[in-house]
Structure 1
Amino acid sequence: MGIFGALQTAVAGLRSQSYGMENISGNVANSQTVGYKRMDTSFVDLVIDRPRDQAIAGSVRAQSDQAISLQGDILPTGENTNIAINGSGFISVSQISGFRDGQPVFSENNLFTRRGDFQLDKDGYLVNGAGMYLRGDSINLDGLITSTNGILRITDTTVPASSTEQVDYSAVLPSTAGTNFYNANNVDTLFDDPATGAPFNDDEAIEASESSDFLSRTISGGSVVVYNDAGAPIDVQLRWGKVDEDEWALFYQNDSSASGTDTMWTRLEDGGGNNAINFEPNGTMSAGSPQSFEMAAGATINGQALSEDVSINFGTEGLRQFAVPNNLLQGLELSQDGYPAGVLQDISISSDGRISGIYSNGQSFAIARVAVAQFAAPNMLKSRDGGTFEQTIDSGEPTFSPEGARIIGGAVEQSNADIAEEFSKMIVTQQAYQANTRVVTTSQQLMEATINMVR
């Protein structure tokens, strides 16, 4: 290699080290950029084809090595719309290509990113800090997927009411009913008391005129709010009455304002006409006891009609009869499956990528699912603006599936560029650059010496 070859090689070295410094500069500048993937630099030697015994050290060319598959730290943000992927995979996004009639038009080209700082915009789209719009599968309120890998837009801002169909009930009934009647007469059965002449005589309906005596002979069974088709709340008051030894009946109040001979309380029964719960000596429900009582559709409670048959479900183990403190109902647990209409208040993202709407009625429904793309060779993707990547022939086609990746809602992935590491690279690059400048200087001095030879 002559002097000019040495000079050209040194210039190539300067160019390559400058290229490396540019990548280092970009990494340092983006060390706080959400989802940023650092760009490393590697060097390839360029050798002139010469005989083995006359080979010379070649020139150099710089090339980029992308660290796309290297994950950054996961940082919780507290923002429910933020998304981080713990593991492999990319979030599918698109950018706006224009507007039509005031509405955004999106590019059909899929881009892929790890930048998950998404926020809901005024139109219901989820857009990240780089202006990229989230793609995924849309899910309706029935749980059915209506579109796949499309631009996600949260439009289900309200949910209709759902009428109550089932009330789950569990409690411990007292072996001895702690009623006012029992406290005064030492008799704990509701009906057929020969000593006092009980007024109810195994009635199915309790008249308003009998209400005071009925209340003194029963214990509270709790209350539950159920809903009709319109979402109107209906307050159901329940009372237990002991009708025989180890045998209980359940009543509901159908009209709190009834008077005279109007019915105020109604005894419940199952669909087969059974209207009492029997207990074994050990406190468990007898095998033949009803596992539920029914309130029929159309029945009115304080003027509000039930839209569906409402089953008060005990199962086989929901009720027990034991000696309990104060001889009153213990351990009551009540829940029902209806709800009023609600409006969207927030969204949350689960580990399987499902985006759920949280509504004012306390309900939560899956309304979308994040499209997670997997690549056979993720480091072969092509970098684009905004922390996005596009597929290449070398990267392979994306496979959309949340499998193999754990999505974390309320968090983002930080840059994988480490400041300390980049500064170390900067020192090495600076020294290599200076060494190449020394080669240029030395080559210049050799050229001057050669020129001076002919003077």
Structure 2
Amino acid sequence: MSIFGAMTNAVTGLRAQSFALENISDNIANSQTTGYKRVDTSFQDLVPDYPLSQQVGGSVIASSRGTNTVAGNYTNTAVSTNVALNGAGFFVVRDRADTQAGLPIFSQRDLYTRRGDFSLDKNGFLVNGAGRYMVGTNLDPTTGALTGSPGVLQFNGGYVPAVISKQIDYKVNLPAMPVTAAYDPTVADSELLPAASATATVTGANDAAFERNTVSGGNVTLYDGQGAPVTVQIRWGKLANGTTTPAAPDQWAMYYSNPAYDPSAATAATDTMWFSDSNTAATAFEFDSAGKLTKPTSGSMDMTNLKIDGTNPIKFDVSSGLTQFSDVSGQVKSSSVRQDGYPAGKFDGINIESDGRIVASYSNGQTQALAQLEVARFNAPNALKRKDGSTFEETLESGQPLYGLNGGSILGAQLESSNTDIAEEFSKMIITQQAYSANTRVVTTSQQMLQDAINIIR
């Protein structure tokens, strides 16, 4: 190799190490940037085509090497709209191209990012810290099916309408020996509901005697079509204890209050306060000796006098678990008393589930899936073209996007940090500085050798 060749190679080495230092400085500068993917440097030797006996090492060229497949650390946040992607892929986002009437107009070109610090802006769009808008597909609020094509998601808040109650799901344990106000352990069968009180209806005048011989089964609030609450009380009275000879089951009657009963009315004494559809042996709830419900066999019955919509009776469903086991308290122990209606609710905010569904929460405790965010994968993710804001765009080398989580998951209220390791970058910086200094020494040495050659003729 000539002296000029050595100098030329040293210059390419200086250029390559300068390029590497630029990448290192970028990585360090973005070590705290959410979703940033560091850029490593790849070196390639350039060997001239000389005869075998004259081969030389050649010069060098530096190029960038992406680390888009290397995840950063995940950190928890207190923001429900922050998301991180666990697995391969990128969130799909779009830029704002213009503004019209105070609303953004979006570019139709998709961009891709791991930066998930999204939050709702004043117009209801999910925008991340780099000003990119989340892309997804809306869901049918009733069926949960995807509707339409992917686009920038917008959430306008509003209300979820009230749903009328149709069924009570009742899961409790009735005590084998109910301790009522009238119960006297010295008097046989004093825990049973007397025949005089075991009627289909109980008026206000008979309420005191009725309540003395029954135990509370809890309250449940039902809702009409406009979301107005209707509170219904439930009481249980034991009709008969089971026998072995002849075999007979334990029998109970369930009573529910009349929501229209007005204790202040002039007719309160004669008006019906309690209803029952199970007050006789033929209609009673029955339990075997092991405390298992044997009747009704379907696990459900109509509360014929409780019609919230004015037409259809409320269903009383005990199929989830109504039992009769011994309990020293002698009272009904509730596991779950629920109903399927709810009042209207105001939009409170959104959460993002692990499968990418965006779910709205409302003031009435209800939730509703509104959209599905888009996740794109590429066969060659490191061939994506970098853009500002920790975003990338598709290239011919990366291939077209493939959509779906493909075994990955969404981490709600978390963010993915930069994948830059400060310690590693400083180590690279030291090595790069030494390599740069070594190349300058080659240039200095080559210059000295040239000077010596010039001085020969003097």
TM-score, reference length from structure 2: 0.90
Match of 2:269 among 260, 266, 274: 260
- The answer for the alignment partner of 1:231 in structure 2 is 227
Distance in 2 of aligned mates of 1:88 and 1:307: 54
**Aligned AA (2:212):** S
Tell me the percent identity. Answer: 45
Distance between the aligned counterparts of 2:447 and 2:326, measured in 1? 106
Q: What 5-or-longer segments of structure 2 have no aligned partner?
A: 242-249
Aligned partner of 1:211 in structure 2 is 207
Q: Deviations over 1:9-30 (max 9, x none)?
A: 2221111111111001101111
1:10 aligns with 2:10: yes
Once the two structures are superposed, residues 179-218 of structure 1 have per-residue CA deviations (whole angstroms, 9 ceiling, x without a partner) of: 23343965333343xxxxx2x4x53222222222222222
SS of 1:443 mapped into structure 2: helix
Corresponding residue number in structure 2 for 1:395 = 398
In the other structure, the counterpart of 2:292 is: 284
Counterpart for residue 168 of structure 2: 167
Contact map agreement 1:136 1:150 (CA 8 A) in 2: yes
Quick one: structure 1 residues 308 and 434, their matched pair in 2 at CA, closer, same or farther if it must change by over 3 Å? farther
- Say which SS state the counterpart of residue 20 (structure 1) adopts: helix
SS at match of 1:386: coil
Q: CA separation of 1:290/1:22 partners in 2, compared to 1, >3 Å: closer, same or farther?
A: closer
Asked if the contact 1:345–1:357 (Cα under 8 Å) also holds between the matched residues in 2, the reply is: yes
AA aligned opposite 1:166? Q
Q: 1:298 Cα shift?
A: 7.1
What is the CA distance between 1:56 and its match in structure 2? 2.1
Q: Displacement, 1:290?
A: 5.9
Asked if the contact 1:269–1:293 (Cα under 8 Å) also holds between the matched residues in 2, the reply is: no
Residue 42 of structure 1: aligned partner: 42
Residue ranges of structure 1 left out of the alignment (5+ in a row): 193-197
Aligned-partner Cα distance in 2 for 1:289–1:206: 27
Count of paired positions:
441
1:381-392 → structure 2 map (5 Å cutoff): 381-392=384-395
Tell me the residue number matched to 1:311: 315
Whichever residue aligns with residue 159 of structure 2, its letter is T
Return closer, same or farther for 1:54/1:282 CA change in 2, 3 Å cut-off. Answer: closer
Instruction: Name the stretch that deviates more: 173-182 or 384-393.
Output: 173-182
1:415 aligns with 418
2:357–2:369 CA contact under 8 A, matched in 1:
yes
How far the C-alpha of 1:287 sits from its partner, in A, is 4.7
What secondary structure is seen at the aligned counterpart in 1 of 2:400? Answer: coil
Is the 1:78–1:410 contact (alpha carbons within 8 Å) kept by the matching residues of 2?
A: yes
C-alpha displacement of 1:446: 2.5
Cα shift at 1:84? 0.9
Counterpart residue type for residue 360 of structure 1: S
Q: Deviations over 1:267-292 (max 9, x none)?
A: 1359xx96311222332223555622
Secondary structure of the equivalent of 1:81?
A: coil
Cα RMSD (Å): 2.3
**1:146 and 2:135 matched:** no
* C-alpha spacing 1:23/1:306, structure 2 compared with 1 (3 Å): farther
